[in-house]
Each structure stands twice: as C-alpha cells, then as structure tokens.
Chain A
C-alpha cells in the first residue's frame, strides 16, 4: 500500500534509525493496547502483550510486505500475541467477578458507573476473545470490516456475523439482567 502514512518512518527504521520506531509506537500504542486488553481483560497482561507485539514487529519489520497497512499488520501481531498470552494464562483461574472489577476500574476509570453500563460490560466479558475484539474494533470506527478480518485472521463475512451475534447477545444479557434487577426491587 503506497499511501500508508507510516511508510516513511518504517523506511527510516529499516535504514538503521531505531529511534524512528518510537514514533510508530507512540502513534499505535493506544489501539494496540486496546486490542490486547479486549482479549486479555487484565491491564497488566495487556500492557505486556502489547509491548511484546511491538518488539516482535520491530524485529520482523523487514518481512512486512506492505500489501496491507502497517497498522493492520501490527494489530494482527498484537491480537495473536494476546491470544497466545491468554492461552498461556488460561490455567490461572479468573472468575467473572474479577473480570467485572477490572472493567470497572480501568475502562470506566471510576467516573461513570451506571448499572446499565456495568451490566453491559459484564455481558461483554462473557463473549469470546474474537467476538469482543471484533465488536470493539467495529465501534472504535477506525477499522473497516476487512481490516478487522485481517487483524483477527478471519473472513469479513465472519466478522460481520460475529459483530451482529455479539450485539444481539449483549442486548439479551442486558435485558435479562435488568429484568432480574427489577424483580429484586
């Protein structure tokens, strides 16, 4: 892809200017971290996975074939690194309560804690990593379905189905939880 704005920085890195990579890290760290966080759901693990992914990308930069955007290529590495980390950590039991707390503290920053939002995040924690990541990337509005497909290593149609299915499931979860809450009052 010739109009990728990251190409000049990539060329500088490949020419030996290691510090030029810092600008790429700065530019993409938020989305990279977001992807890792959606998969891992624990900020410390997500940070480590995102860092690992940037380091892997740096060492394989010469292999980046420029057919897709650098960001898409990078986020795919982030997604795969996070998935691998998730598999490694699977034996570490984490119950749903912990997951919700993670979301509350980090995603909401303790500022907005409406019940509806809390329940929605609770529902989201029940989705698969791929569904959760696809849904988040879709709503971040930076990515087309094709790019999300490339990042998550699936077909665009599958991504569309995943996003639809996840939203329907979340709506169901929300309804169930709100009904339950109404009964408790």
Chain B
C-alpha cells in the first residue's frame, strides 16, 4: 500500500477542521475523487474526528467543591526557608566545605591522629579482666567525611531550597 505523504495528511486534517482555503479544499476534493487510498484515509480520520466532536467534559463527584473548600485550610504552610535564605545557607555550606578541603590539602590535619587505648582508662574498681581493644582516630579522615557530607548537604539545599521553590513559583505565576 502506498504511503500518503505527510503534507497531504496534514491537508486532510485541516480539511476536517475546516481551516483550508476554498481553493485548497477544492484541490483536495479533486484528489480525493481520483485516489481511493486518500479517500480511505480521510474516512478513517473522519471516524476519529467524528468521535471526538461528540466528546464532552468529564464530571467529578458531586461533593467535589465541598471537598476542596473543606481542605483549603489544610494546605501545608509555606516553607520558612525562602529562596534567598536558601542561597545564603548554600553559600555558607560551600564555603565551609571549601575551607575544610583547603585545610586538609595544606596538611593541617596530618598530625591530628591518635590511638585511643581503652586499657588506659582507669576505673575505680577493677571490674574488667580482659584486655580492651584500642582504636585509631584519624582527624584527616573525619574532616574528609565532613567535607563530603557538606557537599551532599549543598546539593540537597540547591534542589530543595532553591531550584524546586523557584520552578514552583514560576509555575504559579504563569511565566
């Protein structure tokens, strides 16, 4: 079966919508009289068109308005964090993360490591008989973890406190 060119299909739709000029409509009608495939395509489009022409809006439940009016006051309160405050907070978090990263890379925390020996803890009564384990505390690692957590926090702030409220605001004001 020969495929009908897209431009002709567009014309068929415009013909159904009544948006063709009288000249274009006559031209198309001539084509329709000689091309069975084109006529068949028009018929199938007409079936779709005819069905939609009778379409009516859907109706919600009878208590719809009442339900909306009853829920008007239940709307969540506005977030206390404005976009402006969110940006300040984001800048603060980023500055803290960058500063920490700079201090780590300059070696400030290189010597901040120690071993915590639980056996060194003196208890008033000697109740622990077995030797206790000792832990290594690495200050550099802790700061690195804090930097990563700060970056995650910054990402969340950007999304929740700045981008989402911004796009929501845009949607509501219709821009």
Residues of A at under 8 Å CB distance from B? 18-19, 21-22, 25-26, 29-34, 37, 46-47, 50-51, 54-56, 58-60, 63-65, 67-68, 72-73, 76-77, 80, 106-107, 116-117, 120, 135-136, 139-140, 150, 164, 167-168, 170-172, 174-175
Contacts and interface: CB of A to CB of B under 8 A. Distances in A.
B48 A37 contact: no
Interface residues of B, number: 34
B53 A139 contact: yes
A50 B60 contact: yes
Given A22-B69, A25-B64, A139 B52 contact: yes
B172 A26 contact: no
A30 B60 contact: yes
Contacts of A116: 47, 51
B41 interface: yes
A47 B62 CA distance: 11
B123 interface: no
Contacts of A106: 58
B173 A64 contact: yes
B48 A171 contact: yes
A54 B51 contact: no
Contacts of B51: 116-117, 120
B45 A168 contact: yes
Nearest to A172: B44
B9 interface: yes
A25 B69 contact: yes
Given A22-B65, A25-B69, A63-B169, A33 B59 contact: yes
Nearest to A169: B48
Nearest to B65: A25
A30 B41 contact: no
A171 B47 contact: yes
A167 B45 contact: yes
17 contacts: A22-B65, A25-B68, A29-B68, A32-B60, A33-B64, A46-B58, A50-B64, A51-B64, A51-B68, A55-B75, A58-B72, A63-B169, A106-B58, A140-B56, A164-B10, A167-B49, A168-B45
